[in-house]
Structures are given as structure tokens and as C-alpha cells.
Structure 1
């Protein structure tokens, strides 16, 4: 009996040891912590734009959020092709596709003189750095206006800011005002043209001359002239 007892004890010890190891391994698995990433915090902004001109409809606007150091244009520098397409034909697709853009929304249609439109943009708090907006004055060759990188970081709920903006000339198309060169209702002509035949840098727009002020080939009249500012904008953080 003593021999049998002595022989069995090592086997029992081995079984107990194996069970302990298995239990320990099970405990290690149960102790694994899977971290859940924090839920995104969203911020919502409403932006109301008002056309201040007498007879310059504005193309459907693009409102976009982007990195704080991004600029859509710089006065005195060559316009990008994205700005050229918007300023000559109202096409904002290339602006929306820029790598710096985190989100964007487009207006519903033309903003007629004296009219307003309100756009809503909801973005992740991590991307809430700056917003920009752009639109073309369509009864011109390449006039445009908008917000160029407005800082919204840290803007509180219900906070609001109102501003007015001037018209810029993309410098990509000569301001001939000639028939067939402008996409707006005053002409119904060409929009974007890849050829550049002007100074090729962005600058403050000198204004429309019209057929009644010495530009014989112009299809525009006195009603199409504009003074700065041309656009009023109110930005409100709503949530």
C-alpha cells in the first residue's frame, strides 16, 4: 500500500499542476482589455450668405471645412485650377476634391441679387479648424468672392460672427465682357476655358465697365456693375 500511495502521488501532483496552468492561462485571456475609441464629437455650423449686388447672380456656393493653414487663394499669386474653374464657370468640384478638405456642402442653386441662402455643415470636432466658401459672380468673366480660411476652432455653441467680403478677379480670363465669354444670364456664354489670357494672379476686381461706359463690345449694362463689398456672411455654431 505504501508503494502504491507513493507511486500515485506524483501523478496527482502532475494533474494538479496542469490544471493550475490551464486556469492561469484562462485568467490571462480574461484579463485582456480591449480599449474602445472615444465617440466622435460633432459640431454643427450654419452659414447664411447674402448677395449684395444689384444684378450679379452668384453661382451655387461651396462651403468646406479644412486644415487651419490651408488657403483657397492668395492675392498676388497665381490662381489654382480649382479656383479658375470656379471663377470662370462656377464649377466647385475641384475645390471639394482638394486633399486638405475634410468635408464640404454645396448650395442649392444660384443666389440672386438681394437673396440669401443658409447652409449647414456638421464636422468632427477634430476637423473643426477652418472653413472657406467660394462663389462666382456669373455676369463676369472671372470674378468671385467668398471666405478664405476663417478660423472656427474653439467657437462656442450659439456664438455668431457676421462679415462682408469683396470681389476678387482670378486673373485667368481677360475682362472683355464680350458676347459668348460669360456664363451668366446676361450672356449665356462660355464658362471655364483652360487658356489664360490675363495677368495670371488673383487681385481685387476692378469692376464691370459695361457698354454704357466706353466698352463697345460689352454685353453688360450699368445694372451689372458692383462696388465692394458684394457678399454678406453670418457664421453660427448651432451645436
Structure 2
């Protein structure tokens, strides 16, 4: 009887061996699950400085959101969230907005001439725009902050520095009258539901004070302010 030698190519031989092994294992074959992609995180610090002489600023809220979102728009009606912040310093409704992906609050009042640094750590896929808001508390409805600044693509340790003006929410008349402002100059009310002003956001004209002829005002000349009122430094730290 003749013997025939059958030679298999190495690749074919490997396939035959693998098939044999798999068939021998039956249901015991365990296919490893794919390794999930590593989530890359980016950290940003935002340092804010109160540039006014005697306007305390309410605890700031710093928030990240999509590139197409804005907290306010000059010439347009203020949202309820902006109204509550501009009249009473309450930022809870801003942090709760559907467009907000992450937020952090300041630790307390931002005193004149003082600075505070806040930190946001975000997944790289969520890095888009940030906003920040705070009330000038010795006013009826003045506020300031960052309104949708893009931070995507920022290089590490390359700070961006900006200055920001004061806005008037247009929701409460600037009477400066006793009982109408929540700051220490008055100790009056904060937010109320009535809107008795122009009802659109605009650049704040500044306070007048009783020494400038507004006899019912409880404010002093030290409460006046010129723009800009806020200095901001944004930096990606990692």
C-alpha cells in the first residue's frame, strides 16, 4: 500500500488546530469582552476678581454646557433663572438648567478687591463652553459674569484673561430704595415675581446714590461702579 504524505501550509494548519480545540471545548469557550476606551479628563481653573470699590458679589456659579447655549442675551428678556440670580443672588436655578452638564459654586461672597478660584474637571468629550454668573448685591438687579466662552482646545498652562462689565437684568426698577436690595447697604428683599422695569437685559447704567440727587436711595458714593467690574482668568491645568 502506498503512503501519501499530506503537507498543510502553516496558516491552514493553525486554523485546523484552532478549530479542533474550539470543538473540543464546547460551551466552555469564553470570548473576552472588549476593553472600554479610557476616559480622558481635563481640568480647568477659573479665577474671578471683584474690581469694584464697595459692591459685594454673590457666591458665583461656574457651569459647563454645550457650545450653542447662552445664559443671557443683551436685548432679550431675562430668564427666570437669571432674574432670581440678578435680584437675589440665588444661582440654584442656573445650575439646574437642562443645558448645564456640570457646575460648581463659590464658597461665599466675593468681596471688593478679592479673588476666588473655582475648578471644573470634565470628560474630554464634554469640554465645550463655560459660563459664570454673580450678582452685585448692593443693587436692585445688576449682575456680571462669563456668557458662553469656548474652552475646547485650550493648551495646558496657557491662561486666557478677560474683563467683564455689569449687566442690568431689566426685571426690577433701579430705585435703590430702602427694602429693595438684599446687600448689606440695605438688607432688603431679594427676588420677587413682579417685573417693573424694561424687561430686557442691557448694560447697567450704574447706581446713582443719595449724594447724586436720588433722595430715596440708601446707597453711598462708594457703591458706584464703572465697567469693567470683574476680571477673569481661565486656565487648563491638565
User: TM-score of the superposition, structure 1-length normalised?
Assistant: 0.88
Alpha-carbon distance, 1:156 to partner: 1.2
Structure 1: tracts of 5 or more residues without a match:
1-18
* Alpha-carbon distance in structure 2 between the residues aligned to 1:131 and 1:169: 21
Check 1:218–1:40 CA distance in 2 against 1; reply closer, same or farther (3 A cut). same
The superposition leaves residues 111-156 of structure 1 with CA deviations (integer Å, 9 ceiling, x where unpaired) of: 1111111111111111110110000000000000000000000111
Alpha-carbon distance, 1:221 to partner: 1.1
Instruction: State the partner residue of 1:180.
Output: 179
The superposition leaves residues 35-86 of structure 1 with CA deviations (integer Å, 9 ceiling, x where unpaired) of: 2321211111111100000110000000111101100000000000000000
* Alpha-carbon distance in structure 2 between the residues aligned to 1:195 and 1:178: 16
SS at match of 1:86: helix
The number of aligned residues is 219
Instruction: State the partner residue of 1:89.
Output: 88
Check 1:96–1:20 CA distance in 2 against 1; reply closer, same or farther (3 A cut). closer
* Alpha-carbon distance in structure 1 between the residues aligned to 2:162 and 2:232: 5
> CA RMSD, aligned part only?
1.6
Superposed counterparts of 1:129-168, under 5 Å: 129-168=128-167
Alpha-carbon distance, 1:20 to partner: 9.4
Higher Rg of the two aligned structures: 1
Check 1:23–1:50 CA distance in 2 against 1; reply closer, same or farther (3 A cut). same
**Which one has the bigger helix percentage?**
1
Instruction: State the partner residue of 2:14.
Output: none
Alpha-carbon distance, 1:22 to partner: 5.9
* Alpha-carbon distance in structure 2 between the residues aligned to 1:91 and 1:21: 65
Superposed counterparts of 1:80-229, under 5 Å: 80-229=79-228
* Alpha-carbon distance in structure 2 between the residues aligned to 1:163 and 1:147: 9
